[in-house]
Chain A
Amino acid sequence: MFVIEKPLPAITEDGAPYWEYAKQRELRVQRCATCSHLRFPPSNVCPKCLAEEHEWVALSGRGTIYSFIVIHRPQHPAFQEDAPYNVAIVELDEGIRLHGNVVDCRNEDLHIAMAVEVVFDEVKDGVVLPKFRPRRG
């Protein structure tokens, strides 16, 4: 039977370390070696100062929900069985905004400014997606 699978991250040179760290349950992004700007999405050139050098630094993984939506009619058939499912934009304490699903939470309990933390979901062998869950306490 023909099965439509969910699309997985397309790995490129710039982004590969992000996904490698995710496999190790770490959330890391590039910090510019010249101006310290945190780059996201990953890039070979800093959008602030155009430097190429950088290091991958660990983030707290803590943040708050900036926006969230609940998708009832997915634009891709592989997500149909999950609908309705949420996608949030999370503003991390470091200021970067990431898309991700919020797990361990009913859609109707989501709200802007909700405190969340990163969790790592191995969606397929060797493919780990950073997601979020409500922070407690």
Chain B
Amino acid sequence: MSGPERLRDRYAIAGIGLSRYGKVPGVSAMAFCLESAKRAIDDCGIARDDIDGVLCLMPAQMGEQHGWASRVAALLGITPTYSSTMDMGGATPIGMLQTAVMALEAGFAKAVLCTFGTQTNPMGIFPMLFGSPWTIPYGDIGAITFMAHLARRQMYEHGISSLDYAHIAVQWRRHANANPTAQMGKKTMTVEDHQASRLVAEPLRLFDCCLFTDGGGAFIVTSAERARDLRQTPALVSGLGQVHSSEVIRPYDDGRGGGSDAGTQAYRMAACTPKDISVVQLYDAFTPRVPHDLVSYGFAAWDEIGELARTGQLTVGGRLPCNTAGGLLSDGHLSGMNHVVESVRQVRGTSTTQVPDVQLSMVTGYGGAPHEPPPTVAYTVAILRRP
């Protein structure tokens, strides 16, 4: 084997950690990075001095604070032989996992800490003025407008409805209600609540949107052998894939569903098919992303989405349990770090909405700058295996 298949199951996520998260004012993004990193180190019991790689997701809303990963390393007393700050938006957590695996395979590091922290209030910079002269003067600003266009096309081309989105949001909320750390853990939601929530960018409503979350997450990647000697069941990295779409409004109309190539790569590396996946964490920054990923990654056809959402097929006991901690919609928006953490929990058997007998646990990422022409979107996929 000369391709990435040769790396199948050779590296593992050994440790995971989430900081406090939710509405947590007065804590810096850096403090969340450090807190989650400490928890990941404690989780697996690795010696701090055994960590020689540090990756960090660029906290974009903090402005031009360069060298973020190096600062994290310095404040943890780590002197990395390999470090980088990465910027693929919500695709970055899995992007960091892939980069960590490559650094380990190449021998530039033996254990890589991947981390992220964000503080939404106050943000370091005025967040609305990103972007482009081709959209902003028309008042088409922010991620939600692009997602609203995506929803409009899903409704037009595939008959998806706002009610379908409601059933998805409500299912995720039930998962959050079982998760004691979820930001919306104590708040229930009904389909009627979703439909009564205010319109933000029609056809999307408030409850189609993810949360604003302060907090951080971290995970530690090392060889499968080293991970076995640590405290937790290793989550073996079986499959990885990424693809970058850059045509104008491409995810609507390239006929393959944006990101499907990332899934194909990951399935090939893991030598599995969508039917083999026990549980998946989908990048649900907005509800329309869920049908998109279900179709792109081969879990469902467009005309099945409504029924899957309505009949409880997206939870334990159904066809494909998804977003079992509550997702970005109801657990919290840690740019998908919490999705990686939850996918590891499913491998370990420690989720608060645990799927029985998990063999393969999948997680997807999505990010970049989809809201300005030419929209550039990174899709990432990871498949984790229980040893």
**Interface residues, chain A, CB within 8 Å of chain B?**
6-11, 15, 40-41, 47, 66-76, 79, 82, 84-85, 87, 89, 97-101, 112, 123, 129, 131
Indicate which residue in A6, A40, A74 contacts B137 across the interface (CB closer than 8 Å): A6
Residue of A nearest to B132 (CB): A41
A73 in contact with B200 (CB, 8 Å): yes
Docked complex: B133-173 residues within 8 A CB-CB of A: 133-142, 144-145, 148-149, 152-153, 156
In Å, the complex CA distance between A99 and B149 comes to 11
B106 within 8 Å of A (CB atoms): no
Bound-complex Cα distance A131 to B135 (A) = 11
Minimum CB–CB distance from B90 to chain A (whole Å) comes to 18
Q: How many residues of B contact A (CB 8 A)?
A: 32
By the criterion CB–CB under 8 Å, are A75 and B128 in contact? yes
* Beta-carbon contact of B156 and A99 below 8 Å: no
Say whether A15 contacts B133, CB under 8 Å. Answer: yes
Assembled-state Cα–Cα distance A61/B129 (Å):
28
Which residue of chain B has the shortest Cβ distance to A73 in the bound complex?
Answer: B200
Q: List 16 A-B contacts (CB under 8 A).
A: A6-B137, A15-B133, A40-B373, A69-B148, A72-B200, A73-B200, A74-B139, A75-B141, A75-B142, A76-B136, A79-B139, A85-B139, A87-B140, A101-B138, A123-B137, A129-B138
Contacting residue for A71 out of B145, B156, B249, CB 8 A:
B145
Asked whether, in the complex, the Cβ of A67 is within 8 Å of the Cβ of B139, the reply is: no
User: In the assembled complex, which residues on chain A have CB atoms less than 8 Å from the CB atom of B128?
Assistant: 75-76
* Known contacts A7-B129, A40-B373, A41-B132; A71 and B202 CB within 8 A of each other: yes
> Given A11-B133, A67-B152, A67-B153, A99–B140 Cβ distance below 8 Å?
yes
A4 vs B372: C-alpha distance in the bound complex, in angstroms? 22
On whether A97 and B248 interact (CB within 8 A), knowing A73-B200, A75-B144, A112-B152, the answer reads: yes
For the complex, give the distance between the alpha carbons of A123 and B133 in Å: 14
A41 to B134, CA, bound (A): 8
Q: B248 near A40 (CB under 8 angstroms)?
A: yes
| Set of chain A residues within 8 Å of B27, measured between Cβ atoms | none
* Chain A nearest Cβ from B120, distance in angstroms: 14
Q: In the complex, what distance in Å separates the CA atom of A65 from the CA atom of B25?
A: 43
10 closest cross-chain pairs (CB), A and B: A9-B133, A75-B142, A70-B202, A69-B148, A79-B139, A75-B141, A87-B140, A67-B149, A72-B199, A73-B200
Report chain A residues within 8 Å CB of B204. Answer: 69
Complex CA distance for A117 and B272, rounded to whole angstroms? 50
Q: Is B306 an interface residue (CB 8 A)?
A: no
CB neighbours of B133 from chain A (8 A):
9-11, 15
Given contacts A70-B199, A71-B202, A75-B128, contact A87 B156 (CB under 8 A): no
Asked whether A98 lies within 8 Å of B139 as measured between CB atoms, the reply is no
